Chain A
Amino acid sequence: MSFESEKHADQYWKENLRMMLTLLSIWFAVSFGAGILFVEELNTIRLGGFKLGFWFAQQGSIYVFLALIVVYVVKMNKLDRKYNVHEDHEEPEEFEEALEEEFTQ
């Protein structure tokens, strides 16, 4: 076990799951929600030449998907560091972070 304790491992996994489920609910909301279930309601709103529901179905959902993955990558890397289960051990970054902490205190 690479975690400091069982408790840490549980907390890490819980935080991971919470973030995953949050992102997946956004994923569901833009594609199945805005693009399919509520498409007619949204089509009454216009975004330039697009009806909003149509735009979500053919364009918007794809942009949101991309943003979701970017957020996930950034947040997971932070989480890995927080629990010290990230991969690289060349330390320069950690060392710099430690230095930063030293100086900000």
Chain B
Amino acid sequence: MDIQTLTIIIVLLTFALYIGIAIWSRAGSTHDFYVASGGVNPVANGMATAADWMSAASFISMAGLISFMGYDGAVYLMGWTGGYVLLALCLAPYLRKFGKFTVPAFIGDRYYSNTARTVAVICAVFVCFTYVAGQMRGVGVVFSRFLEVDITAGVVIGMAIVFFYAVLGGMKGITYTQVAQYCVLICAYLVPAIFISIMMTGHVIPQIGFGSELNDGFLSADGSLSADGSGTYLLDKLDGLSTELGFAEYTSGTKSTIDVFFITAALMVGTAGLPHVIVRFFTVPKVRDARKSAGWALLFIALLYTTAPAIASFARVNMIDTINGPDAEGIAYEEAPGWISNWENTGLISWEDKNDDGRMFYSGDERNEMTIDRDIMVLANPEIAGLPAWVIALVAAGGIAAALSTSAGLLLVISTSISHDLLKRNLMPHISDKQELRYARIASAVAICIAGYLGINPPGFVAQVVAFAFGLAASSFFPAIILGIFSKRMNKEGAIAGMIAGITFTAAYIIYFKFINPAANVPESWWFGISPEGIGTLGMLLNFAVAIGVAKVTGDAPKHVQEMVANIRFPKGAGEASAH
């Protein structure tokens, strides 16, 4: 069977599974729709959280980024996992005890103010939209590559699937579907990594393999034995190759220390402040389970995140070897392995014979003749290593699972924010449970259409806007929630002023460097050498400073709010999360 047929079969099988689960666990009430009656086991909830969090970006493009960035890629690894520690220690148990469905609900009640609630709704919807658009695009790319359909058709198929189970199933459907999606995506990620690790180093565990010595003549892509490299450590060989070819040393990277520091911090705090991840901790029955759930989630995420740097270095060595050949002279274009021509068709790899010798050559200096898109590494990796067709099909299914699970979670946040926080609590307080559920479904249907439109006609800056979303989450929600829990006296004036100051500053900095004056987007003109990706950290500090300053001059929060804060600080008496 060829790759295309196999891919169709495997993807259809996984879809049948997801839809089956969505129908089986259809939501019957608003409560089911929002938080699955708080009745989800912490292990299942951990898997769902992991699937929710690991988007098409983590699955498809992260290892590729690390592969090209070397040490600097650690900002994603530490940033996105370290945020979970903050979430588990500082946020999850308290928000669970507080017992509300959404982040805007917490902010609105804790700061006894509908203005604060509305500010939070706007931030939540904006953060989620930027993500969903990217996910839809991701689904479209995978479909169009492996099913050879038009990208528009790819996105429309994806929209239909997401609509089906997010809108009908609600949180309960999503949770169990996401458990299945986690299983699919983690298998798809680990199987090729394990195969390649055995081939290159003889170790079954990729995490150990990439710090080991290369096999005596590992099998390279064209099936020939590469004689080069036996007995040396893989990372040493990679460092050597990189400097020879004019790249920075793989284990050192090129970013300045302060920039790495700020980007990592922004991603960590952004993770902890993301509304679609926080809402996960309302779906477990107890505070204790919320703590446990964050632990399980990190375990399931760590499986993928510790494998990613291994894949990155394997892919890098393999790719350089198959293009430049064992003697680093370049391989004749006619003898190029199949993956190169396959991906040339998509336009994501191109070769320009600058010195007219008919041989390909890849390097970081003027000798370079190859243009390679970073996003293809994970999808192309099994092909580069010459793994069987079913592994390649599995990877395609995994990429789609990652994109679908994340977009479903994000859509849910958009719909609850609008139907519950904006309509029920603000504009139309008298609507019934049933009407509210209908509005939630309408909101997610509208959101899917807008996201699909953005996926088909990407505004051209989806990748840039992802950094924007993290900065926003870091500089708006995180300080407001932390102060809401750890400072009894923090009042609404402080929180609102802080959120607005943090967002405005961060947004202005990013918009200036990314959209208004992109030419100035170089380290010399950045403030303190901090790139727009890392500026959310500074925005967060500003938010804290403004909030504390303003609160000092406007007096303490009212007594009943202080009592409420005292009450969320210990687990006893946590009922199920409720709407009222």
Which residue numbers of A lie inside 8 Å of B, CB to CB?
A: 1-3, 9, 12-13, 16, 20, 23-24, 27, 31-32, 35-37, 39, 43, 47-51, 54-55, 57-59, 61-63, 65-66, 68-70, 72-73, 76-77, 80, 83-88
With A55-B211, A59-B207, A65-B84 given, is the CB distance from A35 to B295 under 8 Å?
no
Residues of A within 8 A of B71 (CB): 39, 54, 57-58
With A49-B234, A50-B211, A70-B295 given, is the CB distance from A62 to B306 under 8 Å?
yes
Residues of B within 8 A of A70 (CB): 295
Q: How far is the CA of A83 from the CA of B288 in the complex (A)?
A: 15
With A27-B85, A49-B233, A59-B306 given, is the CB distance from A66 to B299 under 8 Å?
yes
Contact B77 A58 (CB under 8 A): yes
Contact B251 A51 (CB under 8 A): yes
Assuming A27-B82, A72-B291, A86-B288, what are 20 further A-B pairs, CB within 8 angstroms? A13-B569, A23-B85, A23-B89, A32-B261, A35-B78, A36-B74, A36-B264, A50-B211, A55-B211, A57-B71, A59-B207, A62-B81, A65-B82, A69-B84, A73-B291, A73-B292, A76-B93, A76-B291, A86-B571, A87-B572
Contact B287 A87 (CB under 8 A): yes
B294 located at the interface, meaning its Cβ lies under 8 Å from any Cβ of chain A in the complex: yes
* B95 shortest CB reach to chain A, Å: 15
Residues of B within 8 A of A62 (CB): 77-78, 81, 302, 305-306
* B94 shortest CB reach to chain A, Å: 10
* B255 shortest CB reach to chain A, Å: 10
23 contacts between A and B (CB under 8 A): A1-B566, A16-B569, A23-B85, A24-B89, A27-B86, A31-B78, A37-B257, A43-B251, A51-B251, A54-B71, A61-B81, A65-B82, A65-B298, A65-B302, A66-B298, A69-B294, A73-B291, A80-B572, A86-B572, A87-B286, A87-B288, A87-B574, A88-B286
B460 located at the interface, meaning its Cβ lies under 8 Å from any Cβ of chain A in the complex: no
Interface size on B, residues (CB 8 A): 52
With A32-B261, A36-B257, A77-B288 given, is the CB distance from A48 to B212 under 8 Å?
yes
Contact B306 A68 (CB under 8 A): no
Residues of B within 8 A of A24 (CB): 85-86, 89
B54 located at the interface, meaning its Cβ lies under 8 Å from any Cβ of chain A in the complex: no
Residues of B within 8 A of A20 (CB): 89-90
Residues of B within 8 A of A55 (CB): 211
Per-residue A-contact encoding for B564-577, CB less than 8 Å = 1, 0 else = 00100111111000
One of B235, B252, B302, B305 near A50 (C-beta < 8 A): B235
The SS class assigned to the A binding surface is: helix
Contact A57 B78 (CB under 8 A): yes
With A12-B570, A36-B257, A86-B571 given, is the CB distance from A49 to B251 under 8 Å?
no
Residues of A within 8 A of B287 (CB): 87
Contact A3 B570 (CB under 8 A): yes
Residues of A within 8 A of B257 (CB): 36-37
B73 located at the interface, meaning its Cβ lies under 8 Å from any Cβ of chain A in the complex: yes
Interface residues of B in 247-263 (CB under 8 A from A): 251-252, 257, 260-261
Residues of A within 8 A of B88 (CB): 69, 72-73
With A48-B212, A54-B251 given, is the CB distance from A68 to B291 under 8 Å?
no
Q: How far is the CA of A50 from the CA of B201 in the complex (A)?
A: 14
* A7 shortest CB reach to chain B, Å: 14
* A17 shortest CB reach to chain B, Å: 8
Contact B295 A47 (CB under 8 A): no
Per-residue A-contact encoding for B201-232, CB less than 8 Å = 1, 0 else = 00000010011110000000000000000000
Residues of A within 8 A of B299 (CB): 66
Residues of A within 8 A of B77 (CB): 57-58, 61-62
Residues of A within 8 A of B261 (CB): 32, 36-37
With A32-B264, A66-B299, A66-B302 given, is the CB distance from A48 to B211 under 8 Å?
yes
* A12 shortest CB reach to chain B, Å: 6
Closest to B265 in A: A32
Contact A80 B233 (CB under 8 A): no
With A37-B261, A76-B291, A87-B571 given, is the CB distance from A65 to B85 under 8 Å?
yes
Q: How far is the CA of A1 from the CA of B47 in the complex (A)?
A: 35
Q: How far is the CA of A59 from the CA of B305 in the complex (A)?
A: 8
User: A27, A62, A66, A86: which has the most chain B beta carbons within 10 Å?
Assistant: A62
B369 located at the interface, meaning its Cβ lies under 8 Å from any Cβ of chain A in the complex: no
* Shortest beta-carbon contacts, A-B, top 6: A49-B233, A57-B74, A49-B211, A85-B570, A85-B572, A58-B309
Residues of A within 8 A of B90 (CB): 20
Residues of A within 8 A of B569 (CB): 9, 12-13, 16
Residues of B within 8 A of A37 (CB): 257, 261
Q: How far is the CA of A61 from the CA of B268 in the complex (A)?
A: 13
* A30 shortest CB reach to chain B, Å: 9
Q: How far is the CA of A65 from the CA of B298 in the complex (A)?
A: 8
Q: How far is the CA of A48 from the CA of B210 in the complex (A)?
A: 10
Contact B302 A83 (CB under 8 A): no
With A32-B261, A73-B295 given, is the CB distance from A65 to B236 under 8 Å?
no
